[in-house]
């Protein structure tokens, strides 16, 4: 996508935030609790992204999500570090897909620690797929929010098609 000179891009100072430096096994092992801990802030960010249709307008919400993640992992490090390390190492060393299947004992210890020390219970299966209403204090976006055009224009309906050279053109539609 090309842009013109009149498009204002954010500066590096606006984009600069501290990163969450944890590995994939740690992220996957703690994903359910992390999602529940930062649920409202993440919803606020996604609502902004959907309503504004311009990621530049949601930088502060994105920074809030990152700050929430940093706070979550600091709390976990202080309270349940050993349990999370055992779970993530078990997941890493027993299955290449990082599945919980072989590590249910470690998962139970981690869940118990999160419940006792941080007050976060593991959300039930399907919790993040349920429809939930999010109440926000942000003002509604203006109706003149930029709508990006479809980059492909397409062909007119009456465009002449040639016969396929090497077989049937629509093999996937039965």
pTM for this predicted structure:
0.76
Least trusted range by pLDDT, from 8-12, 117-121, 143-147, 155-159? 143-147
Per-residue pLDDT tens digits for 73-107:
999 999 999 999 999 999 999 988 888 899 999 99
Range 130-139, long-range pairs (CB < 8 A, 24+ positions)? 134/40, 134/43, 134/44, 134/47, 136/44, 136/47, 138/44, 138/47, 138/48
């Amino acid at each position: 996508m090309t842009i013109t000179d009149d498009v204002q891009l954010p500066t590096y100072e606006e984009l600069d935030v501290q990163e969450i430096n944890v590995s994939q096994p740690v992220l996957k092992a703690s994903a359910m609790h992390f999602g529940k801990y930062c649920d409202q802030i993440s919803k606020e960010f996604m609502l902004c992204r959907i309503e504004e249709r311009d990621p530049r307008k949601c930088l502060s919400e994105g920074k809030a999500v990152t700050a929430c993640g940093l706070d979550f992992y600091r709390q976990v490090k202080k309270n349940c570090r050993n349990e999370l390390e055992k779970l993530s190492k078990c997941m890493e060393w027993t299955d290449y897909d990082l599945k919980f299947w072989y590590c249910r004992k470690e998962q139970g210890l981690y869940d118990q620690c999160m419940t006792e020390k941080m007050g976060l219970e593991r959300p039930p299966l399907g919790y993040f797929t349920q429809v939930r209403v999010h109440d926000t204090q942000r003002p509604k976006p203006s109706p003149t929010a930029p709508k990006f055009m479809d980059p492909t224009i397409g062909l007119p309906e009456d465009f002449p098609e040639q016969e396929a050279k090497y077989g049937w053109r629509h093999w996937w539609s039965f």
